[in-house]
Amino acid sequence: MAETNKDVLICRCQEVTLAMIEEAIAEGAFSVDGIKKRTRAGMGLCQGKSCERLVEKIIAEKTGQAPADILPATSRPPVRPIKMGTIEGERNA
């Protein structure tokens, strides 16, 4: 990825660029969650579905870890955005 434009957006939802992710790694991030905490990449509406793989790849390149060893982001329910009225309705039904 050496010649890539550093301003390219890696996480579109949160507008996080390649440069910002590289900076987070330079500061000590070594996992997807570590990048998330420092840059907000992966915290957008799609919850990392579009950017997590790319982030993993960048960490692997920059830190020399094997992609399989990189800690994935912790994900918690819901899997898809869900309307609160629906959950509340079920409870009170």
Partner 1 sequence: MPKKDADVIVIGGGIIGTSIAYQLSKRGKKALIIEREDLCTGTSGSCDAYITPHTKKPGFHLGLCLESMKLYKELEEELGDDLEYWQKGGFQPCEDELSFQLVSENAKDLMAGGLEVKMMNIDEFRSYEPNMSPNLVGALHCPSACQINPFKVVMSYARNLKKLGSQIMTNTEVTDLLWEDGKVVGVQTDKGEFYADYVVNATGCWGAQIARMAGLEAPIEPRRGQIIVTEPTSTVIKTTMQSGMYLVIKFHPEKITDERTKRLGSGFCIEQTGDGTILIGFTREFMGYDKSTTLEGIEYIISEGCKYLPGLRDMHVIRTFSGFRPFVADGLPLIGPVDGIPGFIMAAGHEGDGVALSPITGKLVAEMIVEGQPSYNIDAFSPNRFVKQA
Specify the 3-state DSSP secondary structure of 17. strand
Residue 91, C-beta contacts closer than 8 angstroms, at least 6 positions apart? none
**Residue 7 found at the interface with partner 1 (CB under 8 A):** no
* Contact call for residue 39 and ligand FES (CB under 6 A): no
Q: Does 91 bind partner 1 (CB under 8 A)?
A: yes
Interaction of residue 58 with ligand FES, rule CB under 6 A: no
Nearer to partner 1, 3 or 90 (CB): 90
Among 10, 25, 31, 56, binds partner 1 (CB under 8 A): 31
Q: Which residue has the tokens 């994935």?
A: 72
